[in-house]
Amino acid sequence: MKARAHLFGTWGSSKKIHDIAAMFLLPETQSLVVMQDYNVSYVLVFVPDELQKFHWIADIAGCNATDYLVEEQNEYQPTELGAQSTLLRLIFDDELSLQYFTKVFDNGKGRIFQVNYP
């Protein structure tokens, strides 16, 4: 636990870090509640970086990464549960349609999505 505190301690409170990690694993409608609490207007994701560190995000959220994402022959694919998670929907936005996010920027590495609250 001490190593985790050193690694993540500079990024804000552990509650905020846990909230954000958990939010990314929730379905869109549930993640919006957390985003609204933090006054989020835009979300930035980096591909493939987010996929490569997905196991850390899931671990921080208290979840098992393989329940959400599998890697086969250097290709990542969301599981049925993963296809419902906000982060993987943002990453695989061409395959998984988004309900509450609009892509406003994509340079092939970073993507910015505007949050559209109902």
Contacts of 101 (CB under 8 A, 6+ apart): 28, 43, 89, 90, 93, 113, 114, 115, 116
The count of domains in the chain is 1
pTM: 0.87
For residue 88, the 8-state DSSP code is H
DSSP assignment of 44-66: EEETTHHHHTHHHHHHHHT--GG
pLDDT tens per residue across span 2-39: 555 555 555 567 888 899 999 999 999 999 999 999 99
Residue range(s) defining the domain that contains residue 28: 2-115
pLDDT at 15: 87
Query: Sorting pLDDT into bands at 50, 70 and 90, what band is 77?
Result: very high
Q: Indicate which CATH number applies to the domain containing 87.
A: 3.40.50.12610
